[in-house]
Structure 1
């Protein structure tokens, strides 16, 4: 991949200092997750490289025209970087707006030239969910009695049972699973750490609990003996913490074995978890808590999916739905 324009840019000292102050604010005061920080650093780096190439040396020299010009070039790639989709361009402009607002509040710049530059509005894209029978086919196609097979089944059962992000699942330690034994009273629960290291506790259903228990008893001890001691729950074949890419590979293999004729990712299981809960009558705010969404607005997009299902059922069943 060709490096973007920010990769080789040498920023003027004033821009570099202002950039570092904002990134430090995001990391320390707002506590953004590592992946989110990487996206901010990349977007802001491209913006500042664009400004430096235009001869801008300090935040005080930036006007609205530079911000709007940048919004145009990231869509076309005329700055030497990759053209961004509407959604990615919107994310980039949000990062730029946040930085300018911070600079104005901190007195780094006298004004905020980005306050009236709005990000492009992406079309509303509904989450992609698969049906309950398709999920069951994937889960039943996963795993075997080998240590890695037990891990694979436990991982996929865990993802669908909890709605966890893949980063949350692979970041789990053994001690984060509380009451995983199926003999205990009530459902097991698990402690997840979401974006910004925000902690939440969610239930782990009986199928997920049994799969995790089987892996802990018959799979993980054999895997852990192959590497250095680690508290990680899900281990790779060498005894280290399972990677995100390996988790994708595990799900892809199970989906192919189950002959699911559509693209399936770990996030598909998260979308399906939310959609199936709402279709089963769960309150949207409960689903919000389970998913770890900061705002219920983010969760409400799933209600559009279930509304489509309701319309289909209504059209097929009501005697005067269609004329």
Structure 2
């Protein structure tokens, strides 16, 4: 069947297509879950971000499979057959056993392999959040008689420490950009590809360290996202927020050099990829995986380590935040630029500014010992 999307919104086709793919996955998950959750599906559809909706449904289905396969809380033979009465009999202790015992380590067996799955506190906390949202909704919707979520055991997460934030220092950013400009540090095989993609790779890295873009935000960029005469470009952030970002001279220069000197001609590109800004050597939109590997490769050179230990795009987001604060921009300006929901997230990067002040003062002594 030929699947087409009739897009009446202002969003580019590639973003609408990606979102619709996730929506289809959500619908498939919902088909496996009990019908008494139908109103919960509507709540997720209209109340939270699409990516969160998909994650919540995955967690809820995982819990329902656990009820069917691992417990005597239901006589249902499949997840869709679980009854509201089965759910109404559940106690907080049943959820605590699921999270604290089963989820920490379980086994997935198939005809060809046995895989041991382990979840640490961060993953457990996400599952707890998904289950809690479900049970609170079912209580509010009068499907469950009691709100059992108050009895869920706490899951302790380590408090984020500024010193634990991984990011590149200014001299490491310089080494990274030097590597992409000269090819220094690349293997002979990597040099072959570098000759064909160095302007593209440089533009990607500059965008990351200038704006602290999320990987998805950069991967979705189109030629039509940029308005060079007005000096800005458009990105789509979490929860569908549409934002115009100002261009500076450095970014405009590297983008234009890539488009004019390296990017394939329109006649060589398939119709669905013609608007994509960053193309692979196959002349298709670069995948998130390919961009992640590119970043790990160049950051590994900057750090003097193996490619496996190179940094992810999110570490370049942290690099941008820290660098902006070290250059005197307020945490509120940086919060706005990076789209942090809470300023306390930005304050973690601000703590590095205190460290830099301490280093300056220690190295600037007026009195000799």
> Given the two structures, how large is their TM-score scaled by the length of structure 1?
0.82
Moved more, 241-250 or 118-127: 118-127
- Is 1:202 matched with 2:202? no
Q: Is the 1:86–1:120 Cα contact (8 Å) retained in structure 2? A: yes
- Is 1:131 matched with 2:165? no
Q: What does residue range 35-114 of structure 1 map to in structure 2 within 5 Å?
A: 36-52=52-68, 53-54=70-71, 55-56=73-74, 57=82, 58=84, 59-74=87-102, 76-78=104-106, 82-114=117-149
Question: Partners of 1:207 and 1:244 in 2: how far apart?
Answer: 24
Question: Partners of 1:234 and 1:194 in 2: how far apart?
Answer: 18
Q: Is the 1:76–1:83 Cα contact (8 Å) retained in structure 2? A: yes
Q: Is the 2:96–2:153 Cα contact (8 Å) retained in structure 1? A: no
**What residue number does 1:288 align with?**
335
**What residue number does 1:246 align with?**
290
Deviation at 1:148, TM superposition (A): 2.4
Q: Is the 2:173–2:302 Cα contact (8 Å) retained in structure 1? A: no
**What residue number does 1:32 align with?**
49
Q: 211, 214, 220: which one pairs with 1:171?
A: 220
Q: Is the 2:93–2:152 Cα contact (8 Å) retained in structure 1? A: no
State the SS of the aligned residue for 1:109.
coil
Superimposed CA distance per residue, residues 44-86 of structure 1 (whole angstroms, 9 cap, x where no aligned partner): 2222222333224433222211121122125531576722111
Q: 317, 320, 323: which one pairs with 1:276?
A: 323
Q: Is the 2:298–2:310 Cα contact (8 Å) retained in structure 1? A: no
Listed as ranges, the gaps of 5+ residues in structure 1 are: 1-10
In structure 2, the CA distance between the partners of 1:162 and 1:113, relative to structure 1 (3 Å rule), is same
Listed as ranges, the gaps of 5+ residues in structure 2 are: 1-28, 75-81, 109-115, 183-193
Question: Partners of 1:20 and 1:83 in 2: how far apart?
Answer: 31
Deviation at 1:224, TM superposition (A): 6.7
Question: Partners of 1:171 and 1:305 in 2: how far apart?
Answer: 31
Report the count of equivalent residues.
302
**What residue number does 2:180 align with?**
142
In structure 2, the CA distance between the partners of 1:290 and 1:252, relative to structure 1 (3 Å rule), is same
In structure 2, the CA distance between the partners of 1:146 and 1:229, relative to structure 1 (3 Å rule), is farther
State the SS of the aligned residue for 1:190.
strand
Deviation at 1:273, TM superposition (A): 0.1
In structure 2, the CA distance between the partners of 1:14 and 1:178, relative to structure 1 (3 Å rule), is closer
**What residue number does 1:300 align with?**
347
> Given the two structures, how large is their TM-score scaled by the length of structure 2?
0.72
Question: Partners of 2:195 and 2:310 in 1: how far apart?
Answer: 27
Deviation at 1:257, TM superposition (A): 4.3
In structure 2, the CA distance between the partners of 1:106 and 1:316, relative to structure 1 (3 Å rule), is farther
Q: Which has the larger radius of gyration?
A: 2
Question: Partners of 1:234 and 1:14 in 2: how far apart?
Answer: 37
Task: Identify which of structures 1 and 2 has the higher relative contact order when contacts are C-alpha pairs closer than 8 Å and 6+ apart.
Answer: 1
Question: Partners of 2:345 and 2:106 in 1: how far apart?
Answer: 33
Deviation at 1:251, TM superposition (A): 1.7
CA RMSD across the alignment: 3.0
State the SS of the aligned residue for 2:246.
strand
Question: Partners of 1:242 and 1:194 in 2: how far apart?
Answer: 19
Question: Partners of 1:249 and 1:103 in 2: how far apart?
Answer: 42
Question: Partners of 1:257 and 1:304 in 2: how far apart?
Answer: 27
Question: Partners of 1:127 and 1:73 in 2: how far apart?
Answer: 30
Q: Is the 1:90–1:120 Cα contact (8 Å) retained in structure 2? A: yes
